[in-house]
Each structure stands twice: as structure tokens, then as C-alpha cells.
Amino acid sequence: MKLLVTGGCGFIGSAVVRLAVARGHEVVNLDAMTYAANAANVASVTHSNLYSFEQADIRDRATLDRIFAPHAPGAVMHLAAESHVDRSIDGPSDFIETNITGTFNLLESARAHWIRQGKPESFRFHHISTDEVFGSLGPTGQFTEHTPYDPRSPYSASKAASDHLVRAWAETYGLPVVLTNCSNNYGPYHFPEKLIPVTILNALHGKPIPVYGTGENIRDWLYVEDHADALLLVLEKGTLGRSYNIGGENERRNIDLVRTICALLDEMAPKPTPHADLITFVTDRPGHDARYAIDPSRIRDELGWRPSVTVEEGLRRTVRWYLDNEAWWRPLLDRKGVGERLGKA
């Protein structure tokens, strides 16, 4: 199958690109190469005859049309998005323009392409989204595909809007779509602005490790390569018009996650004092959701998928990868916003 993957130089998108090429799919990687994109993320596949790259912004409809015509993809996997909650608090306009207007443009380009091709039943538009659209949970319960939307940040509101657009294009125009909502991803090639890479790199540099509030916020952690596997499965076997929640089945408090990373660094890159001594509690993010947890029953029962990597094993792999790949992360430290506290409102 020939796939058009948007955001394929980002964290999750590049994992999809690498896995899709490894499985024999042709891949057209469409990426605007904004601050979090990195060509090095897909360096392992750039010389494959299955891979091609188009630098383009999904806010530019004319360019999207120009790309669809010659490549004629059989499916779209839409991962391009502004995705950092803290950045959405500081500058929501980019999130509205990319995540909402950009998704609208991509839907329209994909629909026009689908019509030109004779509306093939095999075509798919796979929209990849987040569990943050569901809001915040209390101490118990899990998000299901029937959980009402209750976004709390500019980021999650923009993703909720994009989800609704995709469903509307399916209902109104018959566009063949599938949707997924995932929990928090982590793993290799993660841009150093999120909790896990920030913890690793700050610890390595002897800098304070910031933990929001008291560190009691809980997330369900999904290893990115497991996520890529699930996304390709939904694309190939998911029921049209259906959404699937993808979780790691690994709930952890932020403070426990950070302490686990520090213990791994004490083992793999020991220093005279424990890395956990660097943990510093900082003012919480405005509107910080207390807990996310995914009920993965649908994708497990209908498609037979479960995560293969526990959070303990995934964190060990991730820490090892960052220790072994300084040449990847060091140039990123100079990018705008890296190392700064964002999202104070």
C-alpha cells in the first residue's frame, strides 16, 4: 500500500514511517519541518526506494493538491500537528491554524483525490489523535471510545475539533476514515520538550529536573514503536468510521516515572550523587489534567492488539538510546523553547 504520512519527521510520525517502510509499504513523508521535526528521525529509510519526502505545510491547500496528484496514495495517515500543551498555552494560534485548518485542508485534498480515483473502497484516511480530548479522570475509571469530549487546553481543544471534522467528512461525504486516540507516547527520537526526554537530558547535565505541582498527575505510557504497530494495524484492519483507543496499559504518577528514570541513570551513567537529588517541584501547569487512562478493550478484542513493552522495559530502552545517541539530541538543545519553562499563562 502507498501511504501519505503527514508529520513523518516528528516523533510518532517517524516511528510510523520507519515501520511502514520496513514492512514493505511505499511511504510519502509530508512534513513542514517546523521546530520539532528532524530529518535524522528517518535517516534509516531515506535511501530506500520505498521512501519519498515532500516538504509542505498542511495549511497550504494548493501544495497539498499538488502532492496528491502525482503520488496517488492509497491511504493517508494524518499525524502532522502542533502537540505540546505548554506551547499551546503560550501561543494557541499555531494550534488552531495547523490542527484545525490544516486538517480541513488535508481532508479536502484527500476527498478530491479519492473522487478523482473513482472513490475506491480500499482508500483510507486515518486520523491520529490523543486521549487528551476526553478531559481529566478522577482516581478511577478509563477513557473509552464513548467517553464524551471535554478538552481542557488549547491543544486538546484543537485536536477535538480535528476529530469532529474527520467524522463529519465521513458522515457527509462518505470519505472512508478510521480514527485513533492514544495515551502518552515515549521512546527514541522524542523531541526534548516533554517530561521523559527533559528528565533524561537535564539529569545528564546536572540541571534541575522540573516536576509540575507535586508530581501526582497520572498518565498511561505507550512505547512509541508499539503505537506505530497499532496504527498500521488499524489502518489495515480497522472498521470504517470506527475509532480505537490505543493505550500502553502502564499508568504511572509523574513523580514515580521521574524517579524510575533517575534510578536507571544511576545504574547506566552513575555520578557522585543520585540523579533524583536534581528533582525540583515547580509551579503547576494551568488546568493540568489530573489523570489519563485508556480502556484498550476495543482494539484488543476486535483487532487482537496489545502493547508489547512494559513501562519498565520501555524506559530502560529509552534511557539507553539517549545515552548512545548524543549526536541526535545535542543539536536540538539550541532550538527555540528547549530548556525553557513554557505554559505559565
**Could you give the 3-state DSSP secondary structure of residue 274?**
coil
Average pLDDT of the segment spanning 21-43: 97
Give the mean model confidence (pLDDT) for residues 297-309: 98
pLDDT beyond 70 at 345: no
pTM score, two decimals? 0.97
- Quickly state the pLDDT bin for 342 (edges 50, 70, 90): confident
pLDDT above 90 (res 225):
yes
- 251 C-beta neighbours (distance < 10 Å), count: 18
Q: Among residues 57, 82, 131, 251, which one is catalytic?
A: 131
pLDDT, tens only, 158-191: 999 999 999 999 999 999 999 999 999 999 999 9
- Whether the per-residue pLDDT at 217 is higher than 70: the answer is yes
Question: Which CATH superfamily includes the segment(s) 2-191+221-248+292-310?
Answer: NAD(P)-binding Rossmann-like Domain (3.40.50.720)
Our answer to whether residue 132 is catalytic in this structure is yes
Q: For 130-142, write each residue's pLDDT tens digit.
A: 999 999 999 999 9
- In whole angstroms, give the CA distance from residue 218 to residue 216: 6
Cα–Cα separations (whole angstroms), residue 40 to 6, 31, 316: 16, 13, 22
Angle, helices 254-268/311-324, rounded to nearest 10 degrees? 50
Q: What CA–CA distance (Å, rounded) separates 13 from 30?
A: 10
Unique residue bearing C-alpha cell 502502564 = 250
**Identified catalytic residue from 155, 186, 189, 322:** 155
Backbone dihedral region for residue 187 (phi beyond 0: left; psi -120 to 50: alpha; all else: beta): left
Question: Which residue out of 26, 132, 193, 251 is catalytically annotated?
Answer: 132
